[in-house]
Every structure is written in C-alpha cells, then in structure tokens.
C-alpha cells in the first residue's frame, strides 16, 4: 500500500507571522494522524522558522522551488543543500505557475528534480495540460512526455521514491476541478508511463497526487480512486481547518 501524501502549497501568501499563526492552528488539528504524510510548503522567507517549529511534529516541510546548482552566481535562487540544512524534506518542481510565468522548461524541471533528490529532498514533480491541449484530445500524450522528460536520468529504485503531481492547468485557481474519473484517468496513465520507463516495481511504488482547486467537498472522492495517492492543495491549504479536513479525507 502506498502511503497517502497531502501537501499544501502556500504559493506567495503569508508573512512569517501569518504563516506561524496558520501552523499553530494546524498542529493540534492533525495531531495523531499517522497514516498520511502531511506536508506544508511555505514561502521562502518562512521556511526556516516553520521547519524549526515543526521539528518532531507529524508535519513535514517542502519548498516551492529549488535550483539545480549547489551554489553559484544565481541571484534569487535557493540551492538544495541550503534547504536540506534547515530541515526541508520536499521541494515542488515544475509547477504550472513556474512554467507559465517564469519560463521553466521540462529540461530545467528535470535538473531541479535531480538536484533535490541528490541532496536527500523528495521532489514533487508537477505535470499537467492546458485547456487547449485537453480539448484537442492529446492530453495523455502531453502529460506522458512531461513525465518522461522530468524523470530522465533517474534509476528505477530512485524513480520509485519520487512524487508526481497531476495538476491540469485549467483547474488551478479557477474553481474548476477535474471529475474524479478525469483525475483517475490521467493519474493511471502517469503510473503506466512510469511502469514503462522504470518497471513494474517503480510503477507500483511511486506516489501520484492530484492538484487543482482541491476542496474538502472533493477530497474523499479523489482519494477513493486507486491511482490517486494524495493531493497538492492550493487555496484550501491557507486555512487550518480546511487543510486538516483534507488531511483526514473529511
């Protein structure tokens, strides 16, 4: 059985004070939850204080991005060893907003994912199609290509430890959510792609999330699907009660 992973992406929300208020509200609400990996992904300025506060708790911390070099003249970037030093366990790479607004490419996503993994940080690799691609009917091929390019260079036993997040671009921040069947179709196809690339063991073990306007009203239906191993949450992760209910599939 794959352990579910519920991750909350704060995006560019919450000062340190606001983030700490959210964390302090969340801790008691999810206390005792052991059968789900709980992850919060704060803004970069809050990473150190959040990881310090959550040390020893059942909530892990992820970064929203990571650079592929260990150091260097890359103004504004953060290297994987720097994240590792403060206790970050996960890093989101290839989010559609990074691709859309900051020109990130499949090659860059792969480099970021490999750098994170090499530092002992689990990458959450985001893939997903635009509305135009879905309407053309080529979305399965498109997502499979993203998966193939993002995982290039990993060994089968390494690929099994990755997290992939299927986020249809047309459902991010729009209030629209893919139907449970649509989410399952693509997540199953991602698993088949991993199996084809790395073998059955990796396909069985890799965890695949769904993301895109996830709400308390949709979490149970999503998690009932056999190839959905968790969710990557946006707006609902900014409210402690809502996020805790998603963690508990309520």
Residue 208 and residue 228 in contact, taking contact as beta carbons nearer than 8 Å: yes
Ordered DSSP codes for 86-100: TT--EEEES-HHHHH
Residue 106 and residue 150 in contact, taking contact as beta carbons nearer than 8 Å: yes
Residue 90 and residue 4 in contact, taking contact as beta carbons nearer than 8 Å: no
Residue 224 and residue 4 in contact, taking contact as beta carbons nearer than 8 Å: no
> Positive or negative CA dihedral for 27, 49, 83, 152?
positive
Nearest CA to 37 out of 2, 62, 1, 5 is that of: 5
Residue 205 and residue 160 in contact, taking contact as beta carbons nearer than 8 Å: yes
Q: Rg (Cα) of the chain, in Å, rounded?
A: 17
Residues acting as catalytic residues: 95, 167
Residue 160 and residue 206 in contact, taking contact as beta carbons nearer than 8 Å: yes
Enter the tokens of residue 250.
């309520």
Nearest CA to 47 out of 95, 82, 73 is that of: 82
Residue 246 and residue 219 in contact, taking contact as beta carbons nearer than 8 Å: yes
């Amino acid at each position: 059985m794959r352990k579910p992973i519920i991750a909350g992406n704060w995006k560019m929300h919450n000062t340190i004070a606001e983030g700490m208020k959210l964390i302090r509200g969340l801790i008691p609400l999810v206390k005792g939850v052991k059968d789900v990996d709980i992850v919060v992904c704060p803004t970069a300025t809050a990473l150190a204080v959040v990881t310090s506060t959550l040390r020893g708790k059942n909530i892990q911390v992820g970064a929203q991005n990571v650079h592929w070099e260990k150091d260097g003249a890359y103004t504004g970037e953060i290297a994987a060893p720097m994240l590792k030093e403060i206790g970050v366990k996960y890093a989101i790479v290839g989010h559609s907003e990074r691709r859309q607004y900051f020109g990130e490419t499949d090659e860059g996503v792969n480099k970021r994912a490999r750098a994170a993994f090499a530092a002992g940080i689990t990458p959450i690799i985001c893939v997903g199609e635009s509305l135009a691609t879905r309407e053309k009917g080529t979305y399965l091929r498109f997502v499979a290509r993203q998966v193939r390019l993002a995982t290039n260079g990993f060994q089968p036993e390494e690929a099994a430890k990755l997290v992939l997040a299927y986020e249809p671009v047309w459902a991010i921040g729009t209030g629209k959510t893919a139907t449970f069947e649509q989410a399952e179709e693509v997540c199953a196809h991602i698993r088949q792609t991993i199996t084809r690339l790395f073998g059955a063991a990796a396909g069985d073990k890799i965890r695949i999330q769904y993301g895109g306007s996830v709400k308390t009203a949709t979490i149970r239906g999503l998690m009932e699907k056999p190839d959905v191993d968790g969710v990557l949450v946006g707006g609902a992760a900014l409210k402690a009660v809502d996020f805790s209910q998603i963690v508990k599939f309520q």
